[in-house]
Amino acid sequence: MTNPNHPFLAACRREKTPYTPVWLMRQAGRYMKEYRKLRAEFSFLDLCKRPDLAAEITVTPVERLGVDAAILFADILLLLEPMGVPLEYTKDDGPVISHPVRTGADVDRLKELDPDRSLPFVFEAVRKSRAALNGKVPLIGFAGAPFTLASYLIEGGGSRSYIHTKRLMYSDPGAWRNLMERLSRAVVQYLNAQITAGAQAVQIFDSWVGCMSPEDYQKYVSPHMSATISGLTDGIPVIHFSTGTAGLLRLIRAAGGDIIGVDWRVNLDEAWQQLGYDVGIQGNLDPAALLAPLDEIRGKVGEILRRAGGRPGHIFNLGHGVLPDTPVEHVIAMVQAVHELSAR
Amino acid sequence: MTNPNHPFLAACRREKTPYTPVWLMRQAGRYMKEYRKLRAEFSFLDLCKRPDLAAEITVTPVERLGVDAAILFADILLLLEPMGVPLEYTKDDGPVISHPVRTGADVDRLKELDPDRSLPFVFEAVRKSRAALNGKVPLIGFAGAPFTLASYLIEGGGSRSYIHTKRLMYSDPGAWRNLMERLSRAVVQYLNAQITAGAQAVQIFDSWVGCMSPEDYQKYVSPHMSATISGLTDGIPVIHFSTGTAGLLRLIRAAGGDIIGVDWRVNLDEAWQQLGYDVGIQGNLDPAALLAPLDEIRGKVGEILRRAGGRPGHIFNLGHGVLPDTPVEHVIAMVQAVHELSAR
């Protein structure tokens, strides 16, 4: 049993904590030799589908880094395969969808997700991770947000301009709505099943929604994000994460979430002021700052904590995932700096 | 002679104009069949180095689209070759630098730019464009900003995370400052030579600076951007352009420029309020919006004009360059919509 007053869970409720809790997106990843060793033997998808290994990868950084939460090792695109969209990963773990969704007919062919039937290994990994964590720190579950999932489905992988996504949105708003509603239902099912299996908080990654104008966000994204968040099991904190959204913060906050994740391209104090203090905030160190010398990292940690002002409801994190070239010792030093400099 | 009260020039001085002037970044480009025809015969660099062809490409969109300014056909990286950094362009016109700048010694090897000697074709293209425009609309010259040039030099091309750039910045601040000072001097020389040749306004493209945190922008970019802008010939309007900088706008404005270019990921009225009304604003339609049906485009143009509120000093533009897939008729319809809906 995790203590419900664990600093991470308390911060999610915007309660005072003895120090600012910290975890990192992709804290289990290629920058860590334990992970690279497993990846040399198993493919990325194999690791996701082997609950014993996924749990091991989930738990390792908690021991190694001293972070205040574990995040399930999985991938935001796992739910696409059972929806009828096969995908592959390149050797850099980048996703490729060889038959992208481009038309209303493509959308209609998508299957409804039955997560318990098609993704049992994810929930087994949740249970095994909880058992291995043994109450030490809470476990965060996660999923991609409908927009970010849609953009992968439509573009067939990563993108710079999201041309196909926006073209579908503008030229066939009915197909777009249909797609977003299907994805929203799938995400709700999937996250609620993670919660049932033992996830104590969830993060929804709308990683690529920063490509949208505020007007388009409001029209094409916000209703589906609201529906997703309000479909989740009550009482479990929801972190609503995105990047490149300094101009969208008010709309993102309005779409929902207990904690809003912001990236480094906005000052944390200005972001929180825009979001309002009735919501928590997560962030916001530049992942590239972990390539800097240790004293520079410590300085940047201090600056972010200063901007957070000791206000309850701040969870320290990077503004996006740990970069593959990051030295592990720099991550450890960053976590220590957060704990030391925020100690109250 | 261009009328000094031409709407574009008047808007640069924040004077009232009979309608909102409009031009588009990459208004001469692959989306236009006239350009593709030339590209089938000549390489991208050949076109840049042939003043007759560069001038033809510069002038064509003015006739074809009805825009209120021409922008010189050239590339922001042209000045790198005479600084001692050879570069190539892929067939999609993407730049590749096979020997990127990664160390202080690499920075020291860069040559000072003598633009009149090494880039005479650019200034000849300016003169030929002015002659061909024959006073119809003003001609905008341009250059890359020191940060954006540095990021290409260091990464060796485009980038997603700017890891090498940030690593150099953090780990060797002396080399970084040296690089930025050299680039700033080169940009000043280069733009002033364009102005001498006849450019009536200049735009500085800091296209990739949106990857920076506000703190890092202030420390590593802002002083060099200020030095660049204050080194330019007096009396010529300067457009300071960037993308993805909704969280940096106050700092960008403080670095200088008569007009601040903003992208679509922030509402124009909110951006202008942050910048202050003692500076003009350029933007901010999503280039992908030009893939939408015509009525949707017209609606979006109207929304941006509504947010500009008829305030003098707004220049309509996209938030970044025209996308290659854009139908020319959509661009023409957009320009017409700006003129019609803003007519006062």
Q: What is the pLDDT of residues B255-303, one digit of tens each?
A: 999 999 999 999 999 999 999 999 999 999 999 999 999 999 999 999 9
Say which residues have a Cβ less than 8 Å from residue B293's Cβ, sequence separation at least 6.
A170, A171
| pLDDT at residue B2, rounded to an integer | 79
DSSP state of A290: G
- CA atoms of B258 and B236, how far apart (whole Å): 9
pLDDT digits 0-9 by tens, B34-92: 999 999 999 999 999 999 999 999 999 999 999 999 999 999 999 999 999 999 888 77
Q: Which of B209, B213, B274 is the best substitution to test chain A (most A C-beta atoms within 10 A)?
A: B213
CA–CA gap between residue A13 and residue B268 (Å, rounded): 34
Residues of B with Cβ-Cβ distance to A303 under 8 angstroms: 215
Token reading at B93: 């016109």
Contact B166 A244 (CB under 8 A): no
B interface with A, Cβ–Cβ < 8 A, is 161-163, 166-167, 170-171, 210-216, 244-248, 264-267, 270-271, 286-289, 291-293, 296, 300, 303, 323, 325
Q: How far apart are CA A300 and CA A240, in angstroms?
A: 24
Which region holds residue A200: left if phi is over 0, alpha if psi is between -120 and 50, else beta?
alpha
Question: Residue B247: what pLDDT?
Answer: 98
Compute the distance between CA of residue B5 and CA of residue B9 in angstroms, rounded to an integer.
Answer: 6
The 3-state DSSP class for residue B261 equals strand
Q: What is the DSSP string of A292-328?
A: S-HHHHHHHHHHHHHHHTT-TTEEEEESSPPPTT--H
Q: How confident is the model at residue A3 (pLDDT cuts 50, 70, 90)?
A: confident
* pLDDT exceeds cutoff 90 at A92: no
CB A29 within 8 A of CB A71: no
Cβ-defined contact of A289 to B212 (cutoff 8 Å) = no
The ipTM (two decimal places) reads 0.95
Q: What is residue B160's predicted lDDT score, i.e. its pLDDT?
A: 87
Minimum distance, in Å, between the CA of residue B198 and any CA atom of chain A: 34
Instruction: Dihedral sign for Cα A34, A40, A45, A49, please.
Output: negative
Tokens (6 digits) for A58: 């989930």
Q: Which residues pair with A240 in a beta bridge?
A: A204, A260
Averaged pLDDT for residues A297-314? 98
Residue B132's pLDDT band, with cuts at 50, 70 and 90, is very high
**How far away is chain B from the Cα of A241, in angstroms, using its nearest Cα?**
16
pTM of the predicted model, to two decimals? Answer: 0.97
Tokens of A42: 């198993």
Partner residue facing B267 (CB), from A214, A323, A325: A214
With a cut of 90, say whether residue A2 has pLDDT above it: no
Q: Are A58 and A125 in contact (CB under 8 A)?
A: yes
Residue B84 CB contacts under 8 Å (≥ 6 apart), including other chains: B109, B110, B111
**How many CB pairs below 8 Å do chains A and B form together?**
105
**Quick one: pLDDT at residue A298?**
98
B204 bridge partner residues = B143, B240
List, for residues A151-192, the tens digit of each pLDDT value: 999 999 888 899 999 999 999 999 999 999 999 999 999 999
In angstroms, the first-to-last Cα distance of chain A is 26
Closest CA to B301 of B15, B18, B24: B24
Residues of chain A with pLDDT > 90, as a percent, come to: 94
What string of DSSP letters covers A203-264? EEEETTGGGS-HHHIIIIIHHHHHHHHHTSPTTS-EEEEESS-TTTHHHHHHH--SEEE--T
Spatial neighbors of B282 by CB under 8 A, at least 6 apart, are B239, B241, B259, B260, B261, B262, B314, B315, B316, B317
3-state secondary structure of A201: strand
Distances A338 to A266, A343, B212 between C-alpha atoms, Å:
19, 8, 21
Residue A38 pLDDT: 96
Confidence of residue A13 (pLDDT cuts 50, 70, 90): very high
Test the B interface: residue of A31, A155, A286, A306 with most B CBs within 10 Å: A286
